[in-house]
Amino acid sequence: MNKKLSVSILFFSATVILLTFIQIVYLESRNTHMSEKRLLVKKTALPDLALSTEAHFIRHRSLSDLFSIFSNAPMLLEYFPSTFVYHYSGVTQQKNPARIELEK
Amino acid sequence: MKSKLNFLLFEFSLSSIFRHGAKNIFIFFVFTLLTFLLSSVLFVSNSIKSELDATLDSLPDITVQKLQAGRQTNIPVSRVDELLAIQGVSKAVPRIWGYYYFAKAGVNFSVLGIDSFDDQYKSLYRKLADQYDFSNFADKSLMLVGKGVDGILRENYYKGYFNFIKPDGTFVKMNIGGIFTGDTRMESNDLILMPKSKALEIFGMHDDEATDIVIRVANPVEIPNIATKISLKYPDCRVITKEDLVISYQNIFDYKGGLFLALFVISGFTFFMIIYDKASGLSSEEKREIGILKALGWKVDDILKEKFYEAFAISFLSFITAICMSMFFVYFLNAPFLRNIFIGYSTLKPDFILPFSLNFQTLSVIFFVTVPIYIAATIVPSWRVASMDADEVMR
Expressed in percent and rounded to 5, the helix, strand and coil fractions of chain A are 50, 0, 50
Measured between alpha carbons, how far is B361 from B18 in angstroms, rounded to an integer? 33
List strand residue ranges (DSSP E) for chain B, in order: 62-68, 71-73, 75-76, 89-102, 107-114, 129-132, 142-145, 161-165, 171-180, 191-195, 209-210, 212-217, 237-241
Structure confidence by residue, pLDDT tens digits, B41-80: 888 888 888 887 888 888 888 989 888 877 788 999 999 9
Structure confidence by residue, pLDDT tens digits, A32-84: 777 788 888 887 777 777 766 555 555 665 555 544 444 444 444 445 544 44
The answer to whether the CB atoms of B190 and A53 lie below 8 A apart is yes
Structure confidence by residue, pLDDT tens digits, B264-298: 778 777 777 777 776 666 777 778 888 888 888 88
Distance from CA of A44 to the nearest CA of B (A): 7
The answer to whether the CB atoms of B146 and A62 lie below 8 A apart is no
The closest alpha carbon to B35, from B335, B307, B371, belongs to B371
Which residues is B63 bridged to in the sheet? B214, B240
- Which residue from B minimizes the CA distance to A4? B15
Measured between alpha carbons, how far is B274 from B160 in angstroms, rounded to an integer? 59
Q: What is the pTM of this model?
A: 0.75
For residue A82, the model assigns a pLDDT of 47
Confidence class for position B120, pLDDT limits 50, 70, 90: low
Confidence class for position B389, pLDDT limits 50, 70, 90: confident
Of B18, B108, B256, the CB nearest to A5: B18
Per DSSP, the residues of B270-333 read HHHHHHHHHHT---HHHHHHHHHHHHTT--HHHHHHHHHHHHHHHHHHHHHHHHHHHHIIIIIS
Distance from CA of A75 to the nearest CA of B (A): 17
Measured between alpha carbons, how far is A62 from A48 in angstroms, rounded to an integer? 8
Per DSSP, the residues of A31-55 read --THHHHHHHHHHH---S-TT--SS
Give kind and range of the element (H or E) at residue B247: helix B242-279
Provide the 10 A C-beta neighbour count for residue B145.
27
| Displacement of CA A99 from its chain's centroid (Å) | 21
Q: Number of residue pairs across A and B with CB atoms under 8 Å?
A: 211
Q: Do residues A23 and B327 lie in contact, with contact meaning Cβ atoms separated by under 8 Å?
A: yes
pLDDT of A86 strictly over 80: no
Percentage of chain B lying above the pLDDT 90 cut: 14
User: Side chain identity at B281, as an amino acid letter?
Assistant: G
Tell which of B39, B55, B363 to mutate to test the A interface (max A CBs under 10 Å). B55
The answer to whether the CB atoms of B112 and A61 lie below 8 A apart is no
Residue B219 DSSP SS3: coil
pLDDT of B329 strictly over 90: yes
For residue A100, the model assigns a pLDDT of 46
Query: Does the structure's ipTM exceed the value 0.85?
Result: no
For residue B77, the model assigns a pLDDT of 92
The answer to whether the CB atoms of B189 and A50 lie below 8 A apart is yes
Q: What is the mean pLDDT of chain B?
A: 82
